């Protein structure tokens, strides 16, 4: 595999960052994902972190080095992450389950597969044109589907944040899955939270990728999204990959050409005190640590009221 990859997550104007992003790869398969903890529910960042760590751990366990069925993997991994969030909330004694949106993508055998729940998006871009993008699970998107709201108005609609599908809700999530989508050399996949696409149209994102490439375009797009949103800027995160060459078959001894500003298998933003090892993906200790932080937060809120 040969590809360039960039990832970054920013707090924006919020008090904390509830987004989590990650990517990792085996010799033949790449995984990328973005989870946006839902701020309207308590501890959204916990839901996002559990989701990203669960899915990453599942990938590391099953990609040996390839996935037998990437599409099935995504469906099972996102559903499993939902159950892990529910379990952790129950063990933590939470009155309300933390929730998160999530979009994940696997690239294998020169084809991309993606799945999502909520309004975290994926764009498939070729030569500055968006060939495909995920459809938000939101009330506004339903209005678009019924012809009552124009697509261009979604980002600024006052009901944009009303999400009806996510991980961690009381009912099992609906995970929308793509079919295998062939990639050509130069194709770019952008996964992002609504903090990015909410301020920038798909046309702006795709044009920037075409003109500058992801290594320059993504930081510039994040800067512009922050500038436009100002004091209302949400957390904003993105993982983007540009596929650089097609191979008829990958061989274990082939050297991959890869560029990124961060180490692979990185969950961002990293929590204070978190280990730097790349081998700590939702073990029993991880779950216990997350539960302990939830309980600590609950106790702190109780003490503030007394």
- pLDDT confidence of 5, banded at 50, 70, 90? very high
Q: Work out the percent of the chain whose per-residue pLDDT is above 90.
A: 61
Does residue 261 fall inside a structural domain? yes
pLDDT tens column, 61-104: 999 999 999 999 999 999 999 999 999 988 888 878 899 999 99
Average pLDDT, the chain: 82
pLDDT tens column, 138-181: 777 667 666 666 666 566 655 666 788 999 998 899 999 999 99
User: Which residues make beta-bridge pairs with 7?
Assistant: 239
Does residue 305 fall inside a structural domain? no
Does residue 306 fall inside a structural domain? no
Q: Are the C-beta atoms of 57 and 49 separated by less than 8 Å?
A: no
Domains in the chain, number: 1
- In the predicted model, is pLDDT for residue 304 greater than 90? no
CA separation for the pair 263, 206 (Å, rounded): 25
Give me the pLDDT at residue 39, please. 72
Q: What is the CATH number of the domain that holds 182?
A: 3.60.40.10
Q: Look up the domain containing 218 and give its range.
A: 3-300
Does residue 115 fall inside a structural domain? yes
Does residue 278 fall inside a structural domain? yes
pTM of the model: 0.82
Q: Are the C-beta atoms of 81 and 55 separated by less than 8 Å?
A: yes
* 271 vs 55, higher pLDDT: 55
Give me the pLDDT at residue 67, please. 98
CA separation for the pair 140, 163 (Å, rounded): 9
Does residue 267 fall inside a structural domain? yes
pLDDT tens column, 252-302: 333 343 444 444 445 566 544 443 333 333 444 555 555 565 555 545 544
Give me the pLDDT at residue 140, please. 72
Give me the pLDDT at residue 27, please. 85
DSSP assignment of the chain:
--EEEEEEEE-TTSSS--EEEEEEE-SSEEEEEEEEE-TTSTTHHHHHHHHHHHHHHHHHHH-SSS-S-HHHHHHHHHHHHHHHHHHHHHHTT-SS---EEEEEEEEETTEEEEEEESS-EEEEEETTEEEEEPPP-BHHHHHHHTTSS-GGGGGG-TTTT-BS--BSSSS----EEPPPEE--TT-EEEEE-HHHHTTS-HHHHHHHHHHH-HHHHHHHHHHHHHHHHGGGPPPEEEEEEEE----SS--TTPPPPEE-SS-SS--BSPPTT----TT-SS-HHHHHHHHHHHHHHHHHHHHHH-
Does residue 98 fall inside a structural domain? yes
Give me the pLDDT at residue 250, please. 43
pLDDT tens column, 183-226: 999 999 999 999 999 889 999 999 999 999 999 999 999 999 99
- In the predicted model, is pLDDT for residue 56 greater than 80? yes
Alpha-carbon separation of residue 218 from 29, 191, 202, 260 (angstroms)? 23, 11, 13, 12
Could you count the other beta carbons within 10 Å of the beta carbon of residue 56? Answer: 24
What is the mean predicted confidence (pLDDT) over 229-248? 86
Give me the pLDDT at residue 18, please. 93
Does residue 248 fall inside a structural domain? yes
Q: Work out the percent of the chain whose per-residue pLDDT is above 70.
A: 72
- In the predicted model, is pLDDT for residue 53 greater than 90? yes
Give me the pLDDT at residue 170, please. 87
Residue among 306, 224, 225, 296 at smallest CA distance from 42: 296
């Amino acid at each position: 595999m040969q590809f360039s990859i960039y990832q970054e997550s920013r707090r924006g104007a919020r008090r904390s960052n509830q987004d989590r992003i990650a990517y990792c790869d085996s010799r033949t398969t790449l995984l990328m994902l973005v989870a946006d903890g839902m701020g309207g529910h308590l501890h959204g960042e916990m839901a996002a972190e559990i989701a990203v760590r669960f899915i990453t751990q599942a990938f590391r366990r099953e990609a040996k080095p390839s996935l037998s069925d990437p599409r099935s993997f995504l469906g099972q991994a996102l559903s499993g992450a939902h159950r892990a969030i529910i379990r952790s909330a129950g063990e933590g004694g939470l009155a309300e389950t933390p929730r998160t949106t999530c979009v994940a993508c696997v690239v294998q055998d020169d084809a991309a597969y993606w799945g999502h729940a909520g309004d975290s998006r994926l764009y498939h871009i070729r030569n500055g044109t968006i060939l495909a993008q995920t459809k938000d699970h939101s009330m506004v998107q339903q209005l678009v589907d019924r012809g009552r709201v124009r697509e261009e108005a979604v980002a600024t609609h006052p009901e944009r944040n009303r999400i009806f599908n996510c991980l961690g809700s009381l009912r099992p999530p609906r995970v929308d899955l793509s079919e295998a989508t062939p990639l050509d050399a130069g194709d770019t996949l952008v996964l992002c939270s609504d903090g990015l696409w909410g301020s920038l149209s798909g046309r702006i994102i795709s044009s920037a990728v075409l003109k500058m490439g992801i290594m320059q375009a993504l930081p510039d797009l994040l800067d512009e999204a922050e500038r436009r949103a100002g004091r209302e800027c949400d957390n904003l995160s993105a993982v983007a990959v540009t596929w650089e060459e097609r191979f008829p078959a990958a061989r274990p001894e082939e050297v991959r050409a890869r560029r990124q500003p961060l180490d692979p298998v990185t969950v961002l933003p990293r929590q204070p005190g978190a280990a730097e090892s790349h081998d700590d993906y939702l073990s029993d200790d991880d779950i216990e640590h997350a539960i302990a932080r939830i309980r600590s937060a609950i106790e702190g809120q109780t003490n503030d009221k007394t």
